[in-house]
Amino acid sequence: MSEAVTHLSRRCPRCGRPLPPDAPEGLCASCLLAAGVETLTGSGDATSTGVASADPLRPGAPRLVDGQVWGPYRIIRLLGRGGMGEVYEAEQLETGRRLALKVLRSTLRGDDDRARFLREGQLAASISHPHTVYIFGSEEVDGAPAITMELLSGGTLKDRVAAEGAMPPAAAASAVLDIIGGLDAAQAAGILHRDIKPSNCFVDEEGAVKVGDFGLSISTLTRDVRHDLATAGFEGTPQFAAPEQLRGEPLDVRADIYAVGGTLYYLLTGRPPLDAPDFRALVSKVATETPASPRELRHDIPRGLAAVVLRCLAKTPAHRPQSYAALADLLRPYASAHEIPAPIGTRLLAWIADSLMVSSVTWLLMSSAWMAGLTIGSTVTLHRLSAWSWLASAIYFFVLEGGWGASLGKRLMGVRVTSETETRWWLRVFLRTAVFYAPTLIFMLMSGRHVQPDVVLSLLLTIPLFATARRGNGWAGVHELSSRTRVVQRNVVRSVMPIAPKTPLVDPAPVSALSRRVGPYVVHTMVGETGGGRLFVGIDPILRRHVWIHDVPAGTPPVEAARRDIARPGRLYWLAGRRSATENWDAFEAPRGEPFLAAPPSSDWREMHRALSSLAIELEASAREDRNTRFTLAHVWRRADGQLVRLDFPWPAPSTVEGPALTASDASRTLTSVELLAAVSRRLAAPGVEPAAPLSATRLLNRLSSGAPPALADVTTELARLASVPDRASRVRRALPMLLAAVPVGALFLVVTVMLPTIARSLQGENSEIRSTQTFLRWMAWITDPQANAELKTQEQRTAAEQYVAAHFRSQLTSEEFWNTQLPQIEPFLGMRRTAAELAARYPIVSPDDLARASAIVAPQIQELAAQRANMGVSVPAGGEALRGFVASGFSSIPVLLSIVCGLMSVLAAPGGLITRALGQAVVRRDGREIGRARSAIRFLIAWSPALVCIACVGVPMVGTPRVSPNVAFVVGSLACLVMAAGAVWTIANPARGPHDRIAGTWVVPR
């Protein structure tokens, strides 16, 4: 002991752990024991120690062997070993059903171990989610507790990576989204998993991933399950455990998010983010080292995805995604199932936006380059420069799409460029851009013109590229096929599954010795007659959850094997059953919720979509099993999360059935799949509410209830497509057409607020100038020809007039420019020029005294001319003013009128407008159907009416000018523009319904 105390810092040479001060004889006790059971070799007299297992740190031989009959099961094979137990594939002897059987390890026999093992079962059984492994039951066989679970044929994700190597990024992201779904459900039930890793994620037949092995899970709710975070040592798999978990600190959901990140890392690269030969080294590594980016191990991982992985693996929980919903949003764009090809219309608009942006910038640059060229005398011409502008846009697309996956226009329209694999991404983007610009380049070379084709010509040159575009290939053009890139929608609607609240553990109190037992269950209450039997609510006393027990008459054939193995969200799990002379029953999962017939209608399209799709998917699967199945509405159960479940029995007669579109007989009438869907949709739809569903949804619902309903497969396909259609109109998409309208309306606003008043002011100024010229010429006439004029009778008067003119009109007298203008050339004024020159020479300077005296003498004439001047305007030619007014009103009203005419054509061609349609939106009436042409035109004119009023004020050139004064135009015009701006703001704030929609009685919804 003393030796050890003096060597506190010593470590065990065998395991590397520090030696505690009380290490016996200074040796690591655990390693001594391990060495104590090793087989000794050497020295010729090797003797077996008699211990079967060579490595005592590994669990001993499995408890059960293949083929062994163990209680009611036959063991088929060992599937794996978890923290507490061994998992076998087993066959239930009575039914032949295959399931997974988890048995407590033979080394764990304490009461605590048993309790913990059963606690796992209880926790896991309290979750029922498509992405968690379902627990059938729990029992004790030969004194060992066992849990039966659904058998997943696809192995674990670890097996998959081991067999096939690292997964493609999209598949890995999809798998992790599944895991997140299951964990989110667990979290909603108040459960932390604490041991997420690839070997705890199971793959089913269809490739969906389910979370299993809740062996280390703890309940975050304190009431029902004992747990002690502060005293628990480390448990879990250290390679995937968060630093705070390794330190034994209190955990929250972010520790599981770390493990999810570690799992994704493993799926992408085939190895855990951090690893070390022993636990201690690993703990210090996890605490200090940042794992290498997955991209360093594999180049085809999208950057964004790698960033998400590293964010999950942040040392500080606050730096990780804070919830599963947040993490799912980050991952969804990379998951294979969520990429939807962008429609051509959207792409066209994105391209136009890009072209406008690039060309305006390049023209600006080139004009300045040209100006600069002029000043330095260079030979650069605008023509030659513009020939290279295509290169500018090619570089623009290459850099933005390569670096960020989307040009600005694509970003605006919510689409992005992707590739199936990210290997040689820049090369692909280069190829894509090069092929896209090839026709332009060829055209320029062939035509020999160094001219950038304009927008229309570029469009014509580009269209042939899209000859290959088909729905099947994701609307891929030649440039996309050759570069193996696609344009997909960037923002896919979050298909958040609301999680059913936790099924509370059933209070075992009602279970007593007197309770009636059916198989392993205790009968709780009777629900009622199901026609073919009686339905009871029972309790699984070990898992402490409810089950439904369907008591059937003797002679009823047993449930078919195919039915027993169904593990779909749309059906109940079959748990157990018996057919004998005395007992005939089947036990099913009892999900929380209510019979569909008792469920209230819902106006929320998402809810309706969830209900309909879940049922449609189930009905389609049911139809594959038995085409002729008929259903009643009583066969439908609504889970607490809103999904519908097809029951195996009609829910016992509902006492009252309410609902507008449902007759009482509907409840019991047998229906085909499509009829059932129609009945469900009719019953769900609450009447009289605003249309809040996409147009295609309304169409689908109408078709369902029409005389010629669509095929079930079409319904499921359409419902699947609708999952990615947003449920309300998007602000950005509503803003876009208004942005286009802002150009003419803005011009109009400029005209009424700036141009017209300026013109008015300048006209006023010009008038006064002209008038002053006329006064001057009158004076000159008097001076030049005194005889012809009675005004200046005396010489004194003439001299005074000459002095007055010389002082007041000196600029006109000496101005060459003035005498060359048009007016002085007219007959009566000819010859005055000489007189003017003489006057200027005669009176170089007129003193103020002289001027005052002269003014006094000619005062009557001054007054007369002033009086005349007030009336003179009429005779001034108005040509200049008219021209400017014409230009101004044309500048404002022509674009507006043009917009109105084009817009009117557009809304007549496609109700709601072509742009609205291209942006994936539709204008509908109250009943959800698309509006007609007339209403479409009215709605459009309502929207533009302020601009029309404005034009009426400003005037339309060549049509006649109902001219108003500039002041009136200013007030009315700016008011009209402000009304339109306010309307636009309102519309963006309430994208479903702008003011014009309110007046026209329309709504805007996604198509």
Partner 1 sequence: MPFETTRWSLVLAAAGNDSQAARVALSSLCQSYWYPLYAYLRRRGLDPEDARDLTQGFLASLIERQDFAGLRQDRGRFRAFLLASLKHYLSNWSARERTQKRGGDRQIVPLENAEGQYVVEPADHATPETLFERRWALTVVERLLADLRAEWSADGRAAEFDELKACLLGHAPAGGYAAVAARLETTEGAVKAAVHRLRRRFQSLLRQRVAETVADEQDVDDEIRHLIQALSA
Residue ranges binding partner 1 (CB under 8 A): 12-14, 20-22, 24-25, 27-38, 40, 42-43, 45, 47, 49-53, 56-57, 59-60, 106-107, 110, 112, 143, 228, 230-231, 233, 248
Residue 59 or 304: the one with the smaller Cβ distance to partner 1 is 59
* DSSP β-ladder status, 485-489 and 209-211: unpaired
CB contact set of 358 (below 8 Å; sequence gap of 6+): 389, 392, 393, 396
Least distance (Å) between residue 17 CB and partner 1: 9
Least distance (Å) between residue 36 CB and partner 1: 4
Least distance (Å) between residue 46 CB and partner 1: 9
Helix, coil or strand: residue 853: helix
Least distance (Å) between residue 988 CB and partner 1: 57
Residue 64 or 923: the one with the smaller Cβ distance to partner 1 is 64
| 742: enclosing H helix or E strand | helix 731-750
User: Which runs of consecutive H residues, i.e. helices, occur in 90-192?
Assistant: 111-125, 157-164, 169-188
Residue 106 or 815: the one with the smaller Cβ distance to partner 1 is 106
CB contact set of 172 (below 8 Å; sequence gap of 6+): 166, 264, 267, 268
- Report in angstroms the alpha-carbon separations of 647 from 522, 529, 537: 22, 14, 15
Residue 282 or 543: the one with the smaller Cβ distance to partner 1 is 282
Could you write out the DSSP letters of every residue in 267-332?
Answer: HHHSS-SS--SSHHHHHHHHHHPPPPPHHHH-TTS-HHHHHHHHHHT-SSGGGS-SSHHHHHHHHG
Least distance (Å) between residue 107 CB and partner 1: 5
Residue 42 or 377: the one with the smaller Cβ distance to partner 1 is 42
Distance of CA 736 to the CA centre of its chain: 18
Least distance (Å) between residue 115 CB and partner 1: 12
Q: Name the residue type at position 840.
A: A
Residue 47 or 655: the one with the smaller Cβ distance to partner 1 is 47
Residue 22 or 927: the one with the smaller Cβ distance to partner 1 is 22
Least distance (Å) between residue 508 CB and partner 1: 23
Q: Give the Cβ contact number of residue 398 at 10 Å.
A: 19
Least distance (Å) between residue 23 CB and partner 1: 8
Residue 20 or 96: the one with the smaller Cβ distance to partner 1 is 20
Least distance (Å) between residue 24 CB and partner 1: 4
Residue 278 or 658: the one with the smaller Cβ distance to partner 1 is 278
651 vs 644: CA distance, rounded Å? 13
Residue 25 or 816: the one with the smaller Cβ distance to partner 1 is 25
Least distance (Å) between residue 41 CB and partner 1: 10
Q: Give the Cβ contact number of residue 463 at 10 Å.
A: 11
Residue 143 or 960: the one with the smaller Cβ distance to partner 1 is 143
Least distance (Å) between residue 68 CB and partner 1: 18
Number of residues in the chain: 1007
What's the burial of 27, exposed, middle or buried (CB within 10 Å: 0-12/13-18/19+)? middle
Q: What is the 3-state secondary structure (H, E, C) of 455-522?
A: HHHHHHHHHHHHHHCCCCCCCCCHHHHHHCEEEEECCCCCCCCCCCCCCCCCCCCCCCCCCCEECCEE
CB contact set of 536 (below 8 Å; sequence gap of 6+): 518, 523, 524, 525, 526, 527, 548, 549, 550, 551
CA-closest candidate to residue 405, choices 491, 465, 296, 345: 491
User: Which runs of consecutive H residues, i.e. helices, occur in 955-994?
Assistant: 966-989
Residue 53 or 863: the one with the smaller Cβ distance to partner 1 is 53
* DSSP β-ladder status, 144-149 and 98-104: antiparallel
Least distance (Å) between residue 513 CB and partner 1: 23
Least distance (Å) between residue 248 CB and partner 1: 7
Alpha-carbon Rg for the chain, nearest whole angstrom, is: 43
Least distance (Å) between residue 1 CB and partner 1: 9
Residue 233 or 879: the one with the smaller Cβ distance to partner 1 is 233
Identify whether the C-beta of residue 225 lies closer than 8 Å to the C-beta of residue 218: yes
342 vs 817: CA distance, rounded Å? 66
- What does the block give as tokens for 175? 């798998």
- Report in angstroms the alpha-carbon separations of 131 from 124, 127, 176: 12, 10, 10
Helix, coil or strand: residue 595: strand
Residue 30 or 602: the one with the smaller Cβ distance to partner 1 is 30
Residue 4 or 511: the one with the smaller Cβ distance to partner 1 is 4
Identify whether the C-beta of residue 358 lies closer than 8 Å to the C-beta of residue 407: no
Least distance (Å) between residue 222 CB and partner 1: 18
500 vs 131: CA distance, rounded Å? 13
Identify whether the C-beta of residue 924 lies closer than 8 Å to the C-beta of residue 931: yes
